[in-house]
Amino acid sequence: MIELTDPQLVEQDLVLTPADALRDVPAEGDPADPPLAGRVRLGGPHALRLTPDELAADPDLARYAEDQAALYDHYLVRLSLTFPPEPRGPRLEFAHLGLTLSSTAFAPQPVAHSMDPVRLTDAVEVQRVRRIGPQLSLLGTDASLGEVGRTVTFTRNRPLVQALDLGGSAPAWEFRRTEATELTGSYPLSLVVRSGAGAVTELGCTVTAGVKAPLLRRYHRVLPDPLRLHTVL
């Protein structure tokens, strides 16, 4: 195992477009929904090719990279999502950072070899009322005559952040507000991309977010310039 220095990621504030506007034309006279600004910042992406020389501090990793070099190139890609403290306005309900890996080579196609974090959870206390009615029938939450019951308290782990499509060409991270934690602060994200040796691979990025005001509204932004992963001789 080795430790690599974290790069100083260049951050950009994202202005997200209402998702409905991409499909529907507003009725005449109806004001268009304003974009969502100041709620999501994207850091990176930044890529580092993991060569045997780069991994020399760990002989086993360096040997593995050398053994794989005839077939694959590996890149460590780092990003971050930052949710500033909420301004006046609806709170974020969810955010989704989706990546698309594509290559000029016919095979093998690029995939997310590993991702971090894979899953972050919140421990949330949940209460459920167990009710039993006449003839030992299980009842729902509605009260009825002749029932007995008790309240059961238990802890459930709600996913705050989870990785999607590990091992595939469309990796993503899903963020969801929980009862215990709002979507605020910075989240560093990393993945190792495995692509065909010598192939030029592009990494596209799309950010989606949702707020309730009072209905759930979706917004998104596609970054116009994909990150190019290739060997420079």
For 154-163, write each residue's pLDDT tens digit.
Answer: 456 678 899 9
Average pLDDT value over all residues in the chain: 82
Q: Cα separation of 210 and 233, whole Å?
A: 43
Query: Encoding tokens for residue 141?
Result: 């939450």
Q: Give the residue from 190, 170, 19 showing the smallest Cα distance to 94.
A: 19
Residue 227 has pLDDT above 60, yes or no: yes
Q: What is the pTM of this model?
A: 0.80
Q: Provide the percentage of residues in the chain whose pLDDT is more than 90.
A: 48
pLDDT of residue 122: 74
pLDDT of residue 214: 80
Q: Provide the percentage of residues in the chain whose pLDDT is more than 70.
A: 76
- SS3 of 19, please? helix
More confident residue, 108 or 4: 108
Please check whether residue 92 is in contact with residue 36, taking contact to mean a CB–CB distance below 8 angstroms. no
According to DSSP, residue 106 is labeled S
More confident residue, 25 or 35: 35
Q: Give the residue from 116, 117, 114, 149 showing the smallest Cα distance to 134.
A: 149
Please check whether residue 28 is in contact with residue 49, taking contact to mean a CB–CB distance below 8 angstroms. no
More confident residue, 202 or 182: 202
